[in-house]
Structure 1
């Protein structure tokens, strides 16, 4: 994570509004009608106190942003640090009682739980939505409405050791494996697995077979309809068996093992995220970041994780909350500042385009059309079925990959039906 903002006036002209949101507080922003950009910039609307919850993993990034917002608007922001393991559940339990914050900073995959519990208000990004990476807006979209303002994204990609392979000509994953083998190293392409499997790191390959975990509507919302069954999923399962038999994938190689192997020059390629590339760069490796090539013929789309801000459905100051979340946090200077503070790629396209770090720029290209991690509650039950089946296919315990895959899909559907 890493670390300049011009006058706040530039942010105030954005025509962004928050849809109807309850108000129960005493100080400032007592309007009961839907706020507009004009009303949000009046002196009355910018009077009062805003309470914001942030966990320990994000608070250092948000502090300077909040301090500037306070100094430029006169709004007092009471920023409360919450434990990362508790912040999500505390928000769900305390908002209905009126004890929760106006704003909470968190990850997009909290959206489904928040919406189902009625604790967050929908946002209206309007034309501003097109200025973000499509996956960033989709990530906070639930049942056709946007519930969070994105500020940063992260995803996995293909990382190359330029000393071992100075140029990548492969356009398919099989060609990439061949290039990797030609380098004469112990491994060709490293993708972490472990004894529980790792569906997250295999997802770009799976989506290239047009077999997503869940189907999506036109606006990007996830349905509860599984998309990984049928012929496309079966083809992917068969391909996993092939990669396992060729030892491209190995259940013995978990996250620590693939990281160390790449650091030791034992493979020219690894599929991983920015959490490891920092270590690679600090170790003196000359690396490049590229999109994962397709294995199944369609685009390989990694999961995309998005950081953002939600507004409480019971906010005491919805106009102030809207001013910070929708009108301030979404501006290019602020998104750039958040990138400099935290090291995550900005969700706003203009800010992302100005990132001069070639490593992060590579991740941006690889994840530009990626698939947001599903935020629907049903997702939680999928991982165990998914990872276990994949690793059994890879390791050879499941000798019939199609049969094992179809059993997995049936078990997933049963879990969804029982939810």
Structure 2
């Protein structure tokens, strides 16, 4: 998927010149939103990038430096450390000017005062609603979306080529006709996996948190009530039928699919490259509904965020708002890294059928909640699903106890 950057350098330079000389349409006093003249600009920015994105970011940032004269020092961080290090180091003055990271830490960053709001202005219209929602917290935009990803249904076309089923139950029946050891692989593990089960949960109308009119998440759980009860009962059904198996963790599910042991798997684009490298003929489809409502996967938004303590906020804005938001920059990031661009025009040009399938599956998805309360959910959520799937607990009462315990923990955050 990687291609040489020179083919896009000239286009990127032109796009940067145009955006640097044009305003966002906002006339407010926020200096972080003010467009700057890039020509002759001097200074150095420090950008943190996790170890999964450093290679694709290097040539794109090099083009920015060549076009503007603004040096960018890239610092590689472990993906599991980048968010917590951002919170710890920004207040000391040792943090970066810009961070490239998943959006789900945004609430914690805002509450700790380490991230600055941005004004995308008209540029916000260049992105999907879910992408903008991912970088928005409490009604304010804090980042430029870079790429988006979500899980979907992956089919092994060598085993089945039937028209996709309309419901998840029909999908399971269809999959069993292939005569393989597994029907639909959904990675679990001893603590279950709420993330991979979430499309099924939302199809019952039981999303994790309530959302406000602007799409932002509240601290009020929405997993309870009749919809939650119905989903809990469905989990027990899938466990009893052997569709869900706690012994099948992520690696086992991936290997089983590679070995042709199931015609379907619910997974993300991070696994499909291995399937393609193995010579598999695969298709990516939306997860069908189990409960009658749309099956919404979590959508992860990777974004560029500016430190609230940056010593160069105007230059950081030049990079994050006026450069990385452009179609040309996101074309280049896609060429280097093969991730679905967040910029809608750039995404529309992607001709990779696998990525397009994920994009279509996530078009109606829900941004992963970035509120601090989310940290109180995962452990209770997964442990409860594991008990229900394994048949160790009565589904409805156990689910209701979980909802009460989680809401109590959230209220103490």
Take 2:375 and 2:28, find their aligned partners in 1: how far apart are those partners? 29
State yes or no: 1:41 paired with 2:37.
yes
Which of 279, 288, 291 is the aligned partner of 2:286? 291
State yes or no: 1:106 paired with 2:104.
no
Q: Tell me what 2:13 maps to.
A: 8
Take 1:401 and 1:344, find their aligned partners in 2: how far apart are those partners? 38
Contact kept? 1:196, 1:388, Cα under 8 Å: yes
Take 1:149 and 1:331, find their aligned partners in 2: how far apart are those partners? 10
1:11-44: CA deviations, max 9, x gaps? 33354379766xxxxxxxxxxx56533xx12647
1:173-227: CA deviations, max 9, x gaps? 1111111112222222111111110000000000111111111122221111101
Alpha-carbon distance, 1:101 to partner: 2.1
- Give the 4+ runs in structure 1 shifted more than 4 A: 17-21
Say if 1:288 and 1:7 are closer, same or farther in 2 by CA, change over 3 A. closer
Take 1:83 and 1:283, find their aligned partners in 2: how far apart are those partners? 28
Q: Tell me what 2:411 maps to.
A: 417
Say if 1:102 and 1:34 are closer, same or farther in 2 by CA, change over 3 A. closer
Say if 1:159 and 1:83 are closer, same or farther in 2 by CA, change over 3 A. closer
Aligned residue runs from structure 1 range 357-372, under 5 A: 357-372=352-367
Say if 1:93 and 1:162 are closer, same or farther in 2 by CA, change over 3 A. same
1:40-91: CA deviations, max 9, x gaps? 12647x3322222223222211111111000011112222333444432332
Say if 1:357 and 1:63 are closer, same or farther in 2 by CA, change over 3 A. same
Q: Tell me what 2:186 maps to.
A: 191
Q: TM-score, normalised by structure 2?
A: 0.93
Take 1:148 and 1:221, find their aligned partners in 2: how far apart are those partners? 15
| Two-structure CA RMSD over aligned residues (Å) | 1.9
Q: Tell me what 1:408 maps to.
A: 402
1:214-265: CA deviations, max 9, x gaps? 1112222111110111111111111111111111111121112211221121
Q: Which 5+ residue runs of structure 1 have no aligned equivalent?
A: 22-32
Q: TM-score, normalised by structure 1?
A: 0.92
Q: Which 5+ residue runs of structure 2 have no aligned equivalent?
A: none
Take 1:408 and 1:140, find their aligned partners in 2: how far apart are those partners? 29
Take 1:194 and 1:91, find their aligned partners in 2: how far apart are those partners? 30
State yes or no: 1:260 paired with 2:255.
yes
Contact kept? 2:32, 2:118, Cα under 8 Å: no
Take 2:362 and 2:332, find their aligned partners in 1: how far apart are those partners? 21
State yes or no: 1:136 paired with 2:134.
no
Say if 1:7 and 1:164 are closer, same or farther in 2 by CA, change over 3 A. closer
How many residue pairs match? The answer is 404
Say if 1:301 and 1:20 are closer, same or farther in 2 by CA, change over 3 A. farther
Q: Tell me what 2:266 maps to.
A: 271
Which of 304, 307, 328 is the aligned partner of 1:309? 304
Q: Tell me what 2:220 maps to.
A: 225
Which of 66, 78, 101 is the aligned partner of 2:61? 66
Say if 1:301 and 1:2 are closer, same or farther in 2 by CA, change over 3 A. farther
Take 1:185 and 1:330, find their aligned partners in 2: how far apart are those partners? 45
Q: Tell me what 1:386 maps to.
A: 381
Aligned residue runs from structure 1 range 211-250, under 5 A: 211-250=206-245
Say if 1:61 and 1:312 are closer, same or farther in 2 by CA, change over 3 A. same
SS at match of 1:346: coil
1:137-190: CA deviations, max 9, x gaps? 111111011111111111110000111111324111111111111222222211
Take 2:400 and 2:287, find their aligned partners in 1: how far apart are those partners? 26
Contact kept? 1:53, 1:80, Cα under 8 Å: yes
Which of 284, 292, 300 is the aligned partner of 2:295? 300
Take 2:143 and 2:2, find their aligned partners in 1: how far apart are those partners? 22
Take 1:85 and 1:161, find their aligned partners in 2: how far apart are those partners? 32
SS at match of 1:159: strand
